[in-house]
Amino acid sequence: MAVPCQVSEAHDATELRRVPGRDQVDADWLLGLLEARPLPAGAVAMGITALDLAIPIFTFVFGRARELGHAALVSAARLAPEFYGLAPNAALTLHRAVIEVVHELGHVGGLRHCAMRPA
């Protein structure tokens, strides 16, 4: 099934809100920016960033979304092997990003986490 997509302009990285005391972007703040963008009825804003994301109660997050919301956010920063000192692997990073996008879109569709996967 084909899904129509539209690529929008990136947010100005000089205005990012950081989690206090950390060099990580506040994921909930960035998700809020996505949610504030006007969208056609039934559309979902899917934000993808190379920035490392976190929220105050977690040391990092791979992504964020609200159940039954209309926006989701994914960070590719920790999906890349080189983040952990390993050799770059673009195919693996892309594979992980697709999994994370589907995960976050599941939340937008109303799904919660199962007991096997925290956060």
State how far Cα 27 lies from the chain centre. Answer: 8
Structure tokens at 109: 């569709």
Are 31 and 66 in contact, with CB atoms under 8 Å apart? Answer: yes
- Residue 9 is a catalytic residue: no
Task: Report d(CA 25, CA 117) in Å as an integer.
Answer: 23
State how far Cα 11 lies from the chain centre. Answer: 14
Task: Report d(CA 58, CA 26) in Å as an integer.
Answer: 11
Are 22 and 57 in contact, with CB atoms under 8 Å apart? Answer: no
Catalytic residues: 104
